[in-house]
Amino acid sequence: MKLTDLFSLQGTLFAMMLVGAFLKKKGIVDDNGKRTLSDLCIKVVIPCNIFKSCLIELQPGIFRTCGLLLVSGMILQGVALILNRFMFNRYPLQRKKVLQYCTLVPMSGFLGNPIAEGLYGPVGILYTSIFLIPMRIIMWSVGTTYFVAGEGMDKKKVIKNVLTHPCLVAIYLGLICMVTQVQLPKVLTETVRYIGNCNSALTMFIVGTILADVKLPTIVSKDTLFYSVLRLLLLPAAAFGVGKLLGLDNISLGVSVLMTGMPAGATAAIFAARYDSDAPFATKCVVMSTLLSMLTLPLWGWLVG
């Protein structure tokens, strides 16, 4: 992988992001439209993209690599949970919730697949999907409790929501198809492929609509810079160390580092607004880390090789 390839991919994604910001500024996509696009992406487009990545010829050693990536994802989520126990205690409660959630949940669910597919092809999407399983589980369980704790959460409902999340269901079905090498009807596979191919543009439009809601001069502060250093430099450095210890190959190591080095998850701003937390600060963390990631992701791509 050449560094220029990653810069070119970043530039393409950023251009699509600007289109999303333009659509939001012009009122073509309003707040309701943004929520609709997010639901469409999470519940339909990303699952199709994940399932599409599993429609490949089974290669020797692929399950060992997937297993190591799963272990890596679990270790890194454990590190994030430990950091959340003490790192943000000096902040006001509403801001503390945002920082804790953003430490657990990067934008890998949105931004990860386009970058993984652009750099590594279908196997990159597969590896990304496996690596993100622990994050998705923590996101819809522990992550949501930061905002809704004390509102009588039903643990059984939380478990059900996690296990039946569309992205995880896509992984279950995709792995079954990959293991069995079953030949699905062409009309089904082509439909999934076409929908999955919408992923890059749609996700970048959504990120762009978030950028449009913030005045850029207001996003720079000590707190947003501190968080960005943690999210974009320190956590991917930990992912690099864990990956080396586990003996990950270049592609799987690249996936784990780049997915960990993604900016703050866009859902942080959505949850913060929904549950009366510090929504403006959450949005600034998302925007600040997204803009800085345009510099840090190529750096990590070059370091990983």
Dist. CA 236–CA 242, nearest whole Å: 10
Question: Using 50, 70 and 90 to split pLDDT, how confident is the model at 149?
Answer: low
Instruction: Indicate if the pLDDT at residue 39 is higher than 80.
Output: yes
pTM value > 0.85: no
Q: Is the pLDDT of residue 43 over 90?
A: no
Q: What's the whole-number mean pLDDT along residues 46-57?
A: 80
Per-chain mean pLDDT for the chain: 85
Residue 177 has pLDDT above 90, yes or no: no
- The predicted pLDDT at position 150 comes to 47
pLDDT band at 148 (very low <50, low <70, confident <90, very high): low
Kindly tell me if the per-residue pLDDT of 183 is higher than 70. Answer: yes
For residue 85, pLDDT beyond 70: yes
How far is the C-alpha of 1 from the C-alpha of 121, rounded, in Å? Answer: 12
* 153 has a pLDDT exceeding 60: no
Under the banding of pLDDT at 50, 70 and 90, the label for residue 158 is low
pLDDT at 162: 66
- Segment of 14-28, 141-155, 162-176 carrying the highest mean pLDDT: 14-28
**Alpha-carbon gap, residue 16 to 205, rounded angstroms:** 6
**Can you read off the two tokens belonging to residue 188?**
């089904």
pLDDT score recorded for residue 73:
95
Domains of the chain by range and CATH? 3-298 (1.20.1530)
pLDDT surpassing 60 at residue 152: no
- Exposed, middle or buried: residue 262 (CB in 10 Å: 0-12, 13-18, 19+)? buried
Residue 104: the pLDDT is 93
| Mean pLDDT value across residues 143-162 | 67
> HEC profile for the chain?
CCHHHHHHHHHHHHHHHHHHHHHHHCCCCCHHHHHHHHHHHHHHHHHHHHHHHCCCCCCCCHHHHHHHHHHHHHHHHHHHHHHHHHCCCCCCHHHHHHHHHHHHCECHHHHHHHHHHHHHCHHHHHHHHHHCHHHHHHHHHHHHHHHHCCCCCCHHHHHHHHHCCHHHHHHHHHHHHHHHCCCCCHHHHHHHHHHHCCHHHHHHHHHHHHHCCCCHHHCCCHHHHHHHHHHHHHHHHHHHHHHHHHCCCHHHHHHHHHHHCCCECCHHHHHHHHCCCCHHHHHHHHHHHHHHHHHHHHHHHHHHC
Q: What is the mean pLDDT of residues 271-287?
A: 80
8-38 pLDDT tens trace? 777 787 888 889 889 999 999 988 888 888 8
Query: What's the Cα-to-Cα distance from 22 to each of 14, 16, 32, 34, 208, rounded to whole Å?
Result: 12, 10, 16, 13, 8
